[in-house]
Amino acid sequence: MAMLEVNHLSIQFGGLRAVDGFHLNIEKGELYGLIGPNGAGKTTVFNLLTGVYKPTEGIIRLDGQDITGKSTIEINKAGIARTFQNIRLFKDMPVLDNVKAGLHNHYQYSVLTGVLRLPKYFKVEKEMNEKAMEILKVFDLDKEANLLAGNLPYGKQRKLEIARALATEPKLLLLDEPAAGMNPNETLELMDTIRFVQEHFHMTTLLIEHDMKLVGGICEKLTVLNFGQVLTQGETSEVLNNPQVITAYLGE
Amino acid sequence: MKNKMNKTTKNNFITYGIVILLFAVVQTLSSTGNLSRLLTGLLVPLCVYTIAAVSLNLVVGFSGELSLGHAGFMCVGAYSSALFSHMTADALPSVPRFILAILVGAVVAGVFGVLIGIPVLRLRGDYLAIVTLAFGEIIKNLINILYVGVDENGIHVATTSAGFKLAAGGKKILKGALGISGTSALYKDIKENFFLIGVILVLITLFIVQNLVNSRSGRAIMSTRDNRIAAESIGINVTKYKLLAFTVSAALAGVAGVLYSHNLSMLKVSVFDYNMSILILVYVVLGGIGNLRGSMIAAIILYALPELLRGFANYRMLIYAVVLIVMMLFNWAPAARNWRSRMVEKFKGGKMNKEAA
């Protein structure tokens, strides 16, 4: 069964159909790329998948479960986590606490337990600390655990955002331009990290990217979006050599 | 990681330590007769404003919402508990009565916190500030026309003086704009200990707020402050945690109100105006947003200062203004912050060298 199944997904903003009849099938364990020129509607698709926008039409199924029109919180609980094009970290919180915030729904104790410092508080906090450090180690951020997230260098902020998303134990990870603003070395490192996450966490990933080297390097399949519609989809090598795609990107 | 845990715990205990130390100093001064009447009169209000500032910091500093209605919640706590004290004056001895009065004040203010919070937290920034400001004024004006009394037929509530009729032997408690009088007289036997009670309440407030902030719920509250959209994307219920912070803050403001009303023989509603809300906000901002110890210290200094400067007559407000500016610079100017962090490092370095030697 497909991990993510999207059919006829559309959204209308007034007179503009930003996404029109979008469809997508991602199998479990796939690393899938969503590309397209600026303004094609890629981030809008992400916002539809995560419930930021409610679709005008269409259906979204995650692992067989219908999640169309659910709230962002419910969709995260159902198993979709994301990162943002413009980094959205909890800047005034330590790196460790950013990840621990991601663990919020998996390690629970009541408000009263926290205020009264009952034994359960110490037990669960210890487990959270261990789990969060384990995730931070994967991203080589464990040494920065006590720094404020806003003080991290740019590349590490991007990584921390992925770490925080993974802390919610998603089935599907959405990465919105993870390599934006990175230098070639950082991009290479990021590719390794994404591959590692894919294997280590048995993750299914959908990513938006402009860096064709990254897309060609790690994505198994691609969907190309142009003016809100699917231009073509399929194996990466075929799609990248499709003359229509080249035209969409470079013009006639 | 373990160090970090210890660091926050250590920080919390330093704050408790400061409170206890200040209390000890004041007690020594007062027992040796070195405390003026003026200062003695300031002690309980100091506790009131400290509780108010620390609790407001939970909303302004940790939840990131600008609330200007804090005096409104204090007002609700003050009046509900004073009514309770008057009604149960004959039924209960003073110690359990006071404890119950504190709980009544906290619960009623907390309920108002939920009721106001649900609609208000849909708003953001300036709009939220305006609505909370309006809430404070509405509460003040409502209580201003309220008459409450008790007689053998039960409790009577009226909105005009003319409509307020009690059977013979009935007791008028809340008399509209005249407020409630004689609340402190109900507690003659424990009045001497109000400062001690106040300090205990300050400690309880600090305990609740500090522990809340350093827990799972606290992280959720701060995440909604730092980035609402990201908080939702990782499954944190933003409304729930904003409401939690708002309610806890309101309930603690209610406690401050209880202490305030029971310390006075005449409680008039006009003191709970927006000036009071702004004053508390000033303590929070100058003490450092999100810094609980700072709120406490700012409340103590800035509340006591104008009173202590009465001797300087005309220069009083001038000195007060200068202190305000100095505190603002000390807490917020980048140069001052750098200097402070350098000093802290130096101090820590020195300590480590000593340990090594």
**Each residue's pLDDT tens digit, B143-190:** 999 999 888 778 888 888 877 877 777 788 888 888 888 888 888 888
Distance CA A251, CA B306 (A): 72
Distance CA A154, CA A206 (A): 22
Q: Which pLDDT score, from 0 to 100, does residue A252 have?
A: 61
Contacts B217 to A, Cβ<8 Å: 111, 114
Q: Which pLDDT score, from 0 to 100, does residue B354 have?
A: 52
B232 contacts A129? CB cut-off 8 A: no
Average pLDDT, stretch B313-322? 78
- Please give the mean pLDDT across all residues of chain A: 92
Residue in A closest to B226 by C-alpha: A90
Distance CA A250, CA A242 (A): 13
Asked if B5 contacts A130 with a C-beta cutoff of 8 angstroms, the reply is no
Q: Indicate the DSSP class of residue B159.
A: S
Distance CA B254, CA B52 (A): 9
Average pLDDT, stretch A109-128? 94
- Minimal CA–CA distance to A171: which of A62, A74, A85? A62
Q: What pLDDT digit, counting tens, does each position of A184-226 carry?
A: 888 888 899 899 999 988 999 999 988 888 888 899 999 999 9
Q: How far is B341 from chain A (nearest CA, A)?
A: 15
- Give which of A53, A72, A89 to mutate to test B binding, by max B Cβ within 10 Å: A72
Nearest to A109 among B212, B216, B220 (CB): B216
B1 contacts A109? CB cut-off 8 A: no
Distance CA A41, CA A20 (A): 9
Give me the helices (H) in chain A, please: 42-49, 72-78, 95-102, 111-116, 119-138, 154-167, 184-200, 212-218, 236-241, 243-250
Q: Which of helix, strand or coil describes residue B68?
A: coil
Contacts A52 to B, Cβ<8 Å: 229
Least confident of A180-189, B76-85, B191-200, B255-264: A180-189
Q: Which pLDDT score, from 0 to 100, does residue A74 have?
A: 95
Q: How far is A97 from chain B (nearest CA, A)?
A: 7
Q: What pLDDT digit, counting tens, does each position of A168-181 carry?
A: 999 999 999 998 88
Distance CA B167, CA B151 (A): 6
A76 contacts B216? CB cut-off 8 A: no
- Please tell me if residue B237 touches chain A, with a CB cutoff of 8 Å: yes
- DSSP string over B9-45: HHHHHHHHHHHHHHHHHHHHHHHTT-S-HHHHHHHHH
B233 contacts A76? CB cut-off 8 A: yes
CA angle B70–B72–B75, rounded 5-degree value: 115
- Please tell me if residue B227 touches chain A, with a CB cutoff of 8 Å: yes
- Please tell me if residue B226 touches chain A, with a CB cutoff of 8 Å: yes
Please report the beta strands in B117-203, taking only residues with DSSP state E, as ranges in sequence order.
147-151, 154-158, 171-175, 180-181
Q: What pLDDT digit, counting tens, does each position of A46-60 carry?
A: 999 999 999 999 999
Q: Indicate the DSSP class of residue A94.
A: B
- Please tell me if residue B215 touches chain A, with a CB cutoff of 8 Å: yes
User: A249 pLDDT exceeds 80?
Assistant: no
Least confident of A37-41, B79-83, B238-242, B294-298: A37-41
Distance CA A82, CA A134 (A): 20
Q: Which pLDDT score, from 0 to 100, does residue B357 have?
A: 43
Contacts B214 to A, Cβ<8 Å: 114
Contacts B230 to A, Cβ<8 Å: 84, 88-90, 164
Contacts B237 to A, Cβ<8 Å: 73
Q: How far is B326 from chain A (nearest CA, A)?
A: 25
Q: Which pLDDT score, from 0 to 100, does residue B2 have?
A: 47
Least confident of B115-124, B233-242, B346-355: B346-355
- DSSP string over B314-327: GGHHHHHHHHHHHH
Classify burial at A63, counting beta carbons within 10 Å of its beta carbon; exposed 0-12, middle 13-18, buried 19 or more: middle
A104 contacts B220? CB cut-off 8 A: yes
What residues contact A175, with CB distance under 8 A and at least 6 apart? A82, A83, A162, A194, A205, A206, A207, A208, A209
Contacts B216 to A, Cβ<8 Å: 100, 104, 107-109, 114, 124-125, 128
Q: What pLDDT digit, counting tens, does each position of B105-137 carry?
A: 999 999 999 999 999 888 877 889 999 999 999
A104 contacts B216? CB cut-off 8 A: yes
Contacts B229 to A, Cβ<8 Å: 52, 84, 88
Asked if A183 contacts A195 with a C-beta cutoff of 8 angstroms, the reply is no
- Please tell me if residue B222 touches chain A, with a CB cutoff of 8 Å: yes
Categorise residue A235: left if φ over 0, alpha if ψ from -120 to 50, beta otherwise.
beta
B147-151 and B171-175 strand pairing: antiparallel
Nearest to B226 among A93, A108, A113 (CB): A93
Residue in A closest to B219 by C-alpha: A101
Least confident of B55-69, B123-137, B195-209, B311-325: B311-325
User: B324 pLDDT exceeds 90?
Assistant: no
ipTM above 0.85, yes or no: yes
Asked if B61 contacts B289 with a C-beta cutoff of 8 angstroms, the reply is yes
Residue in A closest to B290 by C-alpha: A92
* pLDDT tier, B286 (very low <50, low <70, confident <90, very high otherwise): confident
Q: Indicate the DSSP class of residue A120.
A: H
Contacts A76 to B, Cβ<8 Å: 232-235
Per-residue HEC secondary structure of B229-288 comes to: HHHHHCCCCHHHHHHHHHHHHHHHHHHHHHHHHHCCCEECHHHCCHHHHHHHHHHHHHHC
A115 contacts B212? CB cut-off 8 A: yes
Q: What pLDDT digit, counting tens, does each position of A74-104 carry?
A: 999 999 999 999 999 999 999 999 999 999 9
Contacts B234 to A, Cβ<8 Å: 76, 81, 101-102, 104, 164-165, 167-168
Residue in B closest to A117 by C-alpha: B211
Q: What pLDDT digit, counting tens, does each position of A18-35 carry?
A: 999 999 999 999 999 999
A124 contacts B211? CB cut-off 8 A: no
B147-151 and B154-158 strand pairing: antiparallel
* pLDDT tier, B5 (very low <50, low <70, confident <90, very high otherwise): low
B1 contacts A101? CB cut-off 8 A: no
- Please tell me if residue B310 touches chain A, with a CB cutoff of 8 Å: no
Asked if A15 contacts A223 with a C-beta cutoff of 8 angstroms, the reply is no
Average pLDDT, stretch A92-121? 94
Asked if A138 contacts A75 with a C-beta cutoff of 8 angstroms, the reply is no
A114 contacts B216? CB cut-off 8 A: yes
- Please tell me if residue B212 touches chain A, with a CB cutoff of 8 Å: yes
User: B306 pLDDT exceeds 70?
Assistant: yes
Supply φ then ψ for residue A106, to 5 degrees.
-105, -20
Q: What pLDDT digit, counting tens, does each position of A133-162 carry?
A: 999 998 999 999 999 999 999 889 999 999
A101 contacts B211? CB cut-off 8 A: no
Q: Which helix (H) or strand (E) holds A59?
A: strand A57-62
Least confident of B118-127, B227-236, B314-323: B314-323
